[in-house]
Chain A
Amino acid sequence: MATIGDDFPILNRPLADGTPLVYLDSASSAQKPRVVIDSLSECYESYYANAHRGVYQFGVQIDEALEGSRERIARMIGAESPEEVIFTSGTTMSINLVAQAWGRSQLSQGDEILVNEMEHHANLVPWQQLASQTGAVLRHIPLTDDGRLDLEQLSEYLTSRTRLVAVTGMSNVLGTVNPIEKLVDAAREAGALVLVDGAQSVPHAVVDVLNPRVDFLAFSGHKLYGPSGIGVLYGRRELLEAMDPFLCGGNMISEVGLTESSWAELPAKFEAGTLPVAQAIALGTAVDYVQGIGFDEIGRIEGALLSEAQQRLTEIPDLVVHGPSIEHKGAIVSFSDERVHPHDMAELLKRKGVAVRAGHHCTMPLHARLGIVASTRASFALYNDSSDIDVLVDGIQYARKTLRRG
């Protein structure tokens, strides 16, 4: 019987020593289906040219493919128009774009940016930098002990001084799915904008930027089964139009004189330089692929994996799974084994063909809040199945035995 895993060539090749690969690091980067790989090859083999520059046949063809991809992405996230979809290099660049192009001109002394302890460094450090540049103040929503945003005292943190709430749709460590709607309502009331870091959430569930109405949404192509090096910033049109450019150079101008220039319309204003055009087109293919399977089906597959993984890991003595119960999270299981350090765990799981991540996963403040320096993270995607959890659980026992802690 054909399975989703069959669509992914890398999952069907044994590792160098013959062990089958059990890939549980999709939260770091997802593997690519054949159609995405083919889309890249097809672009380079049959119609590659730079975007927005050629009047020759390939120049026209590549622009059509690129704009077609932008339209598909806009439809997937529910944007009102494709011009609100800016191609960037990934989530990190998307967030930095907002911090600099919006924040530098809009924030001043005493304004507040509301973040929280579970954020990835990419949704924390750009705001720290912006705060130091503008005199704005960073405030933090506290976390509950089970790793959810503690919104009990939200009005204490989200006030008329708050200009922006930057929050992840889903924690890359705890898997916590945040209540965006509640935050959006509260932010609107306080007159603040909301930026959602969708790096983890966009690949796993339907996103509609109009409901709840978010102002900015940042995400990466490579976690959505697309190529690396390409990502998206969605921004509400009025905001993007009012913003200054982030990077300056080719394509983003309307008129250039020797001493001053005027800016191009959206989205070109924010797409200076040569785009990774083949990757942008292949991201559109990835969107088609994901939508072809459907987020309902993805939710069903990943929900079952999460439920099984959570239960089986929780049954292991001296092992703690971090984060909330499964109703509040996506398909990520980060754990601390009191008998085996994460570094040793990852090393020993590697021998069983299992790819997991060990470390702080770019969330040092979160790990400090959890009182640990590192954790081991298994993350699931639409191509995983129950047998992967068997190998993981056996691997954990193998690691303990190897370290004489079985």
Chain B
Amino acid sequence: MGNLGWETSVSDELYDELILDHFESPYHRGELESPSCTHTERNPLCGDRVQLQLQIDSEQRIQQAFFDGEGCAISQAAASILCEHIEGKTLEEVEEFSAAAMLDLLRVQLTAVRQRCGLLGFKVLKTLVYSHDGAAGGSA
């Protein structure tokens, strides 16, 4: 399936090492000082919230990605994993990044309900990428 990330080794356990590591010590949780763009979404059912901020350079490459928010371990760990994954990628590369590839990155099997948690950050990313006007560096 996904060609943008890890070797996939699906675990039966929902809360496996990778998820818990990112939940415990998230990668780039916080805010950028002057992000190129910022967007937030909520999962209306459980109230999970993920904000994503990107620093995009003149070559349309994501220099830095930061997330913030609150919610279940899956939504927050997935946002952290996402930030780590997309840094250094161009917007064009990110446009091709699929939901299936995002779920593969998590390396656990999610039920339909929990996929909404796992894909919350991804949804924010897609909104950002498609609404980004291409103006690099400055404010959104």
A contact residues vs B (CB 8 Å cutoff): 341-344, 347-348, 358-360, 367, 373-374, 402-404
Contact = CB atoms under 8 A, between A and B. Distances in A.
> How many interface residues does chain B have, given as a range?
10 to 19
Contacts of A402: 15
Shortest Cβ-Cβ A-B pairs, 6 listed:
A373-B47, A343-B72, A341-B72, A344-B72, A374-B47, A344-B73
B45 interface: yes
A297 B140 CA distance: 64
28 contacts: A341-B48, A341-B70, A341-B71, A341-B73, A342-B72, A343-B48, A343-B75, A343-B117, A344-B72, A344-B74, A347-B14, A347-B114, A358-B46, A359-B47, A360-B46, A360-B47, A367-B47, A373-B46, A373-B47, A373-B49, A373-B70, A374-B46, A374-B47, A402-B15, A403-B15, A403-B20, A404-B20, A404-B24
Contacts of B74: 343-344
A192 B114 CA distance: 46
Contacts of B46: 342-343, 358-360, 373-374
Interface centre among A348, A367, A373 (most CB of B within 10 A): A373
Contacts, number: 43
Contacts of B70: 341, 373
Contacts of A373: 46-49, 70
Nearest to B19: A403
Contacts of A344: 15, 72-74
Contacts of A343: 46, 48, 71-72, 74-75, 117
B67 interface: no
Contacts of B72: 341-344, 347
Contacts of B47: 359-360, 367, 373-374
A359 B42 CA distance: 13
Interface string B53-70: 000000000000000001
Nearest to B14: A347
B122 interface: no
Interface in B9-38: 14-15, 20, 23-24
A344 B23 CA distance: 12
A374 B46 CA distance: 6
Interface centre among B47, B48, B75 (most CB of A within 10 A): B47
A57 B73 CA distance: 60
Interface in B47-100: 47-49, 70-75
B50 to A, nearest CB: 13
B93 to A, nearest CB: 31
Contacts of A374: 46-47
A337 to B, nearest CB: 12
A320 B48 CA distance: 19
A195 B23 CA distance: 46
Nearest to A358: B46
A220 to B, nearest CB: 22
Contacts of B24: 404
A347 B72 CA distance: 10
A24 to B, nearest CB: 18
A366 to B, nearest CB: 13
A161 B70 CA distance: 42
A358 B43 CA distance: 13
Nearest to B45: A359
Nearest to B42: A373
A343 B14 CA distance: 13
Contacts of B71: 341, 343
A343 B111 CA distance: 13
Given A341-B71, A344-B73, 15 more contacts: A342-B46, A343-B48, A343-B71, A343-B72, A343-B75, A344-B72, A347-B14, A347-B72, A347-B114, A359-B47, A360-B47, A367-B47, A373-B47, A402-B15, A404-B24
A367 B45 CA distance: 13
Contacts of A347: 14, 72, 114
Contacts of A359: 45-47
